[in-house]
Amino acid sequence: MHHKFDVNILRRAEVAFERRSFIKKNPSGAFSTMTKLMQWLFGVSLLATAWAVVTFDLFGLSFPPEYREVAWPMPVYLLVSFGCFSLATVGYRVATFNDCDEAARELQDQIKEAKEDLRKKGLKL
């Protein structure tokens, strides 16, 4: 138990070290070394910041009112669009999920052939 605890710490230190060396050599590759969760959080915070800056007019950059009107409901729009896209995609994929009837028939035939051949070769069940 104790040994496994040490191994996990060592493994994490190893991964962190590899990650740091990689980023030093390829600064632009930092994104790809993040976990998927970190990538999502990073992306979401970028979008959230951009949205907040426009909607609440942070930094006193006076955007034209049209920008603010469009930006304000964006999060809801995007979520709903994604929801619809997901439903449509999964629905389409279920509808076009191939049914391998021929493969099943072929398998049945081959099972008969195999049993016969194995019996001849001396297999006893």
Residues of this chain that bind another protein (CB under 8 A): 35-37, 86, 89-90, 93-94, 97-101, 103-104, 107, 110-111, 114-115, 117-118, 121-125
Distance CA 9, CA 67 (A): 49
* Coil/strand/helix, residue 5: helix
Q: How far apart are the first and last CA of the chain?
A: 45
Enter the DSSP assignment of 34.
Answer: S
Q: What are phi and psi of 84, to 5 degrees?
A: -65, -45
Q: Which amino acid is at 88?
A: A
| Residue whose C-alpha is closest to residue 44's, from 19, 79, 20, 88 | 79
